[in-house]
């Protein structure tokens, strides 16, 4: 309870975990989490824009240090994708992987900003509820996973044709005998449902949990001198460990995207 | 933790970012890197080629140097031969000339000797005649004995 405006610990936590909403209409589903969307767009423009600035002036001669750094990221993604995706990766999959990795990485990295100081800053701007980590909102991660899901279906149909794709839906993995069709269909259905769920919830869970632990440490800091002391040390430790989680989760999200697209194209 | 329209908004943002990366970010970086890779490969190949041609040139150089050396030696030996020939012929010419001079000198000497002999004979015969005249001035008819005297002169 860094702020005296909070009456109970529950208030503090729920305040920090509440999205800034904007109702598009009366319906429950027509709500926009302004903070997630705005932060995601700002971070996306910032991260992709930065490499765009470098890529625009990319030279094949001796690169500047900035270009060398961007090329380092580029070749990292390119080598990861080329190991998994066989086919022309440069037209879609590799650039998509680069986008996913950078965007998710930067969105995750927002978690390093100290929540209470940032909430003062947002309060100063007149935004009383503002979550600045878009990936700790399940809508963001599920939105991304859903995008990948549609791409997966698109790639599958493009590679095998609609008939081939449907054939695979009913004849894999157990075979093409008619009496195993229901089992095949059920399996594939579960696969198609579980993929976006595990894809999105893994990232969301990690980022959300990280945020909650920061909040709990913040609560502890409000209990007194010893609380401030221990929660500072633990907070620093958690933040350092969180560097690993942030990068790892971005990497996993990117790799799963590539794997799903590769699987969709190549079949079982 | 409630799903709503944010989902769609994020998916759209995602799609736009992917499109942007495909269109504007990935190609220039890929081009730059691939071009540089090609340039490096070309440079290495050119270096290899240069090394090879250098070797070939060095070999050629050594060959032509050998050839030139051989030619030079040939020319020198030819010159030496020619020089000895010239010396030889000069010697021959000089010997011939000397021989000729010697022969002509010899014949001249012979002529001189003959002339001197002739003179001597004439003088002797004259002296003999004079002597005889003195001895026989009175007894010998000059005209009657002239033939005999000239014969005598000839025999001397």
Strand partners, A31: A23
Query: Could you say which of A75, A90, A139 has the minimum Cβ distance to residue B6?
Result: A139
A47, burial (CB in 10 Å: exposed 0-12, middle 13-18, buried 19+): buried
Give the number of other CB atoms < 10 A from CB of residue A175. Answer: 11
B66 found inside a domain: yes
Quote the pLDDT of residue B150: 77
Taking CA–CA distances from A78, the nearest residue in chain B reads B30
Q: How do residues A47-91 score in pLDDT, each as one tens digit?
A: 999 999 999 988 888 889 999 999 999 999 999 999 999 888 999
Domain boundaries, chain A: 9-266
B106 found inside a domain: yes
Nearest-angstrom CA–CA distance, B62 and B28: 50
Taking CA–CA distances from A59, the nearest residue in chain B reads B32
**Nearest 10 degrees: CA dihedral of A66, A67, A68, A71?**
130
* Residues A5-18, mean pLDDT to the nearest whole number: 80
Please state whether the predicted TM-score (pTM) of the whole model is above 0.80: no
Catalytically active residues of A are: 198, 202, 206
Nearest-angstrom CA–CA distance, B66 and B73: 11
Nearest-angstrom CA–CA distance, B19 and A98: 12
SS3 A176: coil
Cβ separation B7–A95 shorter than 8 A: no
In contact, A66 and A55? CB cutoff 8 Å: no
B114 found inside a domain: yes
B143 found inside a domain: yes
Q: How do residues B120-151 score in pLDDT, each as one tens digit?
A: 888 888 888 888 778 776 665 666 677 777 77
Q: How do residues A234-258 score in pLDDT, each as one tens digit?
A: 999 999 999 999 999 999 999 999 9
Q: How do residues B54-113 score in pLDDT, each as one tens digit?
A: 999 999 999 999 999 999 999 999 999 999 999 999 999 999 999 999 999 999 999 999
Q: Does A70 touch chain B (CB under 8 A)?
A: yes
Query: Could you say which of B7, B30, B33 has the minimum Cβ distance to residue A139?
Result: B7
B1 found inside a domain: no
SS3 A173: coil
Quote the pLDDT of residue A267: 63
Quote the pLDDT of residue B138: 64
Q: Domain of B51?
A: 9-155
Q: A32: which DSSP letter?
A: E
Give the best residue of B1, B3, B8, B9 to mutate against chain A (max A CB count within 10 A): B9
B3 found inside a domain: no
Q: Does B42 touch chain A (CB under 8 A)?
A: no
B148 found inside a domain: yes
Q: How many domains does chain B have?
A: 1
Nearest-angstrom CA–CA distance, A206 and A242: 10
């Amino acid at each position: 309870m860094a702020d005296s405006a909070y009456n109970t610990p529950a208030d503090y936590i729920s305040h920090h975990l509440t999205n800034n909403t904007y109702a598009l209409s009366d319906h429950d589903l027509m709500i926009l989490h302004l903070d997630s969307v705005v932060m995601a767009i700002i971070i996306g423009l910032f991260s992709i824009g930065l490499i765009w600035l470098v890529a625009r002036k990319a030279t094949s001669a001796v690169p500047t240090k900035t270009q060398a750094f961007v090329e380092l990221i580029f070749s990292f993604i390119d080598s990861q994708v080329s190991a998994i995706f066989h086919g022309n990766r440069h037209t879609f999959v590799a650039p998509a992987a680069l986008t996913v990795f950078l965007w998710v990485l930067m969105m995750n990295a927002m978690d390093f900003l100290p929540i209470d100081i940032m909430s003062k800053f947002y309060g100063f701007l007149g935004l009383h509820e503002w979550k600045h980590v878009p990936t700790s909102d399940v809508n963001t991660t599920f939105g991304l996973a859903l995008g990948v899901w549609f791409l997966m279906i698109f790639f599958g149909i493009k590679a095998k044709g609609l008939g081939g794709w449907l054939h695979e839906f009913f004849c894999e993995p157990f075979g093409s005998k008619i009496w195993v069709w229901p089992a095949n269909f059920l399996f594939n259905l579960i696969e198609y449902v579980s993929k976006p769920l595990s894809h999105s919830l893994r990232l969301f869970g990690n980022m959300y949990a990280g945020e909650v632990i920061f909040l709990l440490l913040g609560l502890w800091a409000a209990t007194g001198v010893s609380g401030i002391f221990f929660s500072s040390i633990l907070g620093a430790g958690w933040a350092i460990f969180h560097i690993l989680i942030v990068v790892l989760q971005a990497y996993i999200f990117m790799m799963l995207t590539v794997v799903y697209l590769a699987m969709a194209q190549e079949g079982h | 933790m409630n799903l709503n329209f944010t989902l769609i908004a994020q998916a759209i943002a995602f799609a736009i970012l992917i499109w942007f990366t495909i269109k504007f970010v990935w190609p220039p970086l890929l081009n730059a890197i691939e071009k540089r890779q090609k340039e490096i490969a070309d440079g290495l190949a050119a270096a290899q080629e240069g090394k090879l041609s250098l070797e070939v040139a060095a070999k050629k150089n050594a060959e032509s140097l050998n050839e030139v050396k051989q030619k030079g030696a040939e020319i020198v030996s030819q010159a030496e031969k020619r020089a000895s020939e010239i010396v030889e012929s000069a010697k021959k010419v000089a010997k011939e000339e000397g021989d000729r001079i010697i022969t002509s000198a010899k014949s001249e000497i012979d002529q001189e000797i003959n002339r001197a002999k002739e003179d001597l004979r004439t003088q002797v015969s004259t002296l003999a005649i004079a002597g005889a005249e003195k001895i026989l001035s009175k007894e010998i008819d000059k005209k009657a004995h002239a033939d005999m005297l000239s014969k005598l002169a000839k025999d001397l």
